[in-house]
Amino acid sequence: MRYIRGIENYNCPSHTAITLGKFDGLHRGHQKLIEQVKKHADGQIKSVVFSFDMFPFFKELGKQNYILMTSEEKCLRLEKQVDYLVECPFVEKIHTMDAETFIKEVLMKKFHAKYVVVGTDFRFGYQKKGDIYLLEKYQQICGYKLIVIEKEMYGEREISSTFVKEEIHKGNMELAEKLLGYPYTILGTVEHGEKLGRKLGFPTMNVIPAEEKLLSPNGVYVSSVMIDGKEYRGISNVGCKPTVSDKKEKLVETFLFDYDEDAYGKKIQIRLYSFVREEKKFSSVSALQKQMRSDIKMGEVFFKK
């Protein structure tokens, strides 16, 4: 798969099967769209995921808009699934472009679309005036086939990025996993810390997440980590380590049950499965050590089940 940032950098002359949206989290609803794109792609028709990147837009407005998935995490999730991931920053040129121009200039001239796959509520163009009915109107004029996919449901509620965010805000990682179709994952590089975990007898890996990444509530979670293509089980603390540090910077600190190698500088994927307890400041280091032993036992029981 090729990752391209910005429409202007996409120059493939081939026809495409393309799906469009924000694709934050690549949840089960998004996966239905991508499966349709893959179904209609072949050697001549390339599969494309066109993703609007809203973070720079909201940042410019001074609004917080934490996301479920960074660009790098999106690339990892889509690797070997599609031919292209084209990420489009939601800049003025894009959000002021009228819907008809978007169809003609982007879908047709740029992507040579043969199949356009979207959800029932897909909106695009200036003031969101474009919808599936406009795409349907233009399919004969422009020569593409429109495929509209019904929403994926969980019970009586549509699966959406908003739904997933709500559950992560609650620390409900089990339901988040059901909505996503995979455990909520944090990608980052293992940083050098003060090595306090090693001194306590529990060496940990410290990762500082991307500033735009949505984090679950501060606390301890059952987790696993992918390192060099292999998965290791453990527990992770999301937060600021109040017992041993006065810093307010949030990080993810992970202790693995069966890993004793040097991981500094390595890119790892942390998967959060289940909330164990809230983060708290202990009265002493020995009290923290005692609690960590208890947390580890809970993690081991979780994986045995």
Task: Write the DSSP string, the chain.
Answer: -EEEESGGG----SEEEEEEE--SS--HHHHHHHHHHHHH--SSEEEEEEEEE-HHHHHHTT----BS--HHHHHHHHTTT-SEEEEEE--HHHHTS-HHHIIIIIIIIIT-EEEEEEETT--BSGGG-B-HHHHHHHHHHHT-EEEEEPPPEETTEE--HHHHHHHHHHT-HHHHHHHHTS-EEEEEEEEP---HHHHHT---EEE---TTB--PPSEEEEEEEEETTEEEEEEEEEE--TTT------EEEEEETT--S--TT-EEEEEEEEEEEE----SSHHHHHHHHHHHHHHHHHHHH-
pTM: 0.92
pLDDT on residue 244: 54
In order along its 305 residues, the chain shows pLDDT tens digits of 999 999 999 999 999 999 999 999 999 999 999 999 999 999 899 999 999 998 777 777 777 789 999 999 999 999 999 999 999 998 878 889 999 999 999 999 999 999 999 999 999 999 999 999 999 999 999 999 999 999 999 999 999 999 999 999 999 999 999 999 999 999 999 998 766 666 666 889 999 999 899 999 999 999 999 999 999 999 999 998 655 555 667 899 999 999 989 899 999 999 999 999 999 888 788 888 899 999 999 999 999 98
